[in-house]
Amino acid sequence: MARIAGKRALTDAGIPYNAVEQAVASYCYGDSTCGQRALYELGLTGIPIYNVNNNCSSGATALMIARQLIEGGAAECVMALGFEKMEKGSLGAKFNDRTNPLDKHVEVMNDVQGFAPAPPAAQMFGGAGLEHHKKYGSNTDHLVKIAKKNHDHSVNNPYSQFQDSYSFDKIKGDKKVFGGLTRSMCCPTSDGAACVILASEAFIKKHGLAMEVELAGQSMKTDTPSTFKEASMIKMVGADMTYQASTEAYKQAGIKPEQIQVVELHDCFAANELITYEGLQLCPIGKAHEFIDKGDNDYGGRVVVNPSGGLISKGHPLGATGLAQAAEIVWQLRGEAGKRQVKDAKIGVTHNLGLGGACVVTVYKKAEDSVKSKRPYSLGAGILPQVAEEPSLQQESKL
């Protein structure tokens, strides 16, 4: 999987693998140095390879490290490659003889709502949705609308694990998971890979390549006292991390939330997309349901959220997710998203969240011919859909 995604990104960038100076690999399910073994499929060039495991935000964490390597002057061209081969079923603990990294989060959940016979992640994010309903007046129908939007978008995404549109009633009446969440509102267990190549302006000019998408701002935040001390499920699943990371990333990029045209956010559950509208400042706190009812989260509204179909449809191979989000935004800003293209998109955002916890918010801008910046550029992007067979090299070169 990593070989295919990596080759597609290199083809897209128009460079050979030996032009890559350093690489960052992201995954959660795998032994140490899986990144080396995966990247060795592309070549044995002896470059530094870093392995990242930051739960569901691993992919964007790899992207952030790649950016920092370039901005810090350690490299001119860096590959971020994410991949995942997951176990069947819902996420669970792997090591039972040591402290679980989510023990403090589970304590909050136990204190606020207890522990139910349902997947833990669904309880956490579903509980955040229930809190929003009680505190601000949203309801299950708003979660259904989110899921329907994302499933509708997936029809136009050949990289999506599921590419079917579902009716409102089918989504609402699907198998119950927890709270207002049904199966159609939850991301599936997925395998997949994604790759993004970043380069400096000097590297791009030296090799006669195009400066198309600028990585204009990026911030990672981890848990703060509010995660554990405010008896809030919304806070516990990372709302404050999202708000703080978006504030910092927007400041770096010199933009306001109102300028954002397209967003790929971490809709592991429809309830998380609901609260993330507020965390990303796309609407005021407590107004996410009004934002949905106005259609401001879709084509024809204020901003298009998850045109790819999101994690709910596209799937959530943990180490690849953040990089697949980046690939989608790159294609949107380059005008290469086909039927799911957001018209005249010039500013896009990705939001990748992992409990434990870490949240990465990234701002991308369509580069202008006259741009002068020390920020890295996305040089190439490639992802792998849910397929069993490797496509031919001729097919790869077209993707």
**Do the bridges between strand 262-264 and strand 304-305 make them parallel or antiparallel, or are there none, so unpaired?**
parallel
Which residues contact residue 229 at a Cβ distance below 8 angstroms, ignoring those fewer than 6 apart? none
pLDDT at 364: 98
- How does pLDDT run across 92-140, given as a tens digit for each residue? 667 788 889 999 999 999 999 999 999 999 999 999 999 999 999 999 9
pLDDT surpasses 60 at 157: yes
Give the tokens for residue 399.
């993707």
Please confirm whether the linkage preceding 354 is cis (ω < 30° from 0).
Answer: no
pLDDT at 87: 81
Q: What confidence category does residue 378 fall into, taking pLDDT thresholds of 50, 70 and 90?
A: confident
**Mean pLDDT, residues 158-162:** 94
Does the 2-88+99-397 domain belong in CATH 1.10.357.10? no
User: Which residues make Cβ contacts (< 8 Å) with residue 314, sequence separation at least 6?
Assistant: 154, 157, 159, 160, 161, 308, 324
Phi, psi of 72 (to 5 degrees): -85, -5
pLDDT-derived band of residue 89, with 50, 70 and 90 as boundaries?
Answer: low
pLDDT at 51: 98
Predicted confidence (pLDDT) per residue in 161-205, tens digit: 999 999 999 999 999 999 999 999 999 989 999 999 999 999 999
Q: What are phi and psi of 364, to 5 degrees?
A: -120, 140
Given this model, what pLDDT does residue 151 score?
98
Residue 195 pairs in a beta bridge with 81, 382
Residue 371 has pLDDT above 70, yes or no: no
Q: What are 38's two structure tokens?
A: 């995966």
Give residue 22's pLDDT: 98
What average pLDDT score do residues 285-311 get?
A: 98
- Domain range summary for the chain, segments of one domain joined by +: 2-88+99-397
Residue 224: the pLDDT is 96
Position 286 pLDDT exceeds 90: yes
Contact 352, 318 (CB under 8 A): no
Determine the Cα–Cα distance for residues 237 and 239; give it in Å rounded to an integer. Answer: 6
Query: How confident is the model over 312-358, as pLDDT tens digits?
Result: 999 999 999 999 999 999 999 999 999 999 999 999 999 999 999 99
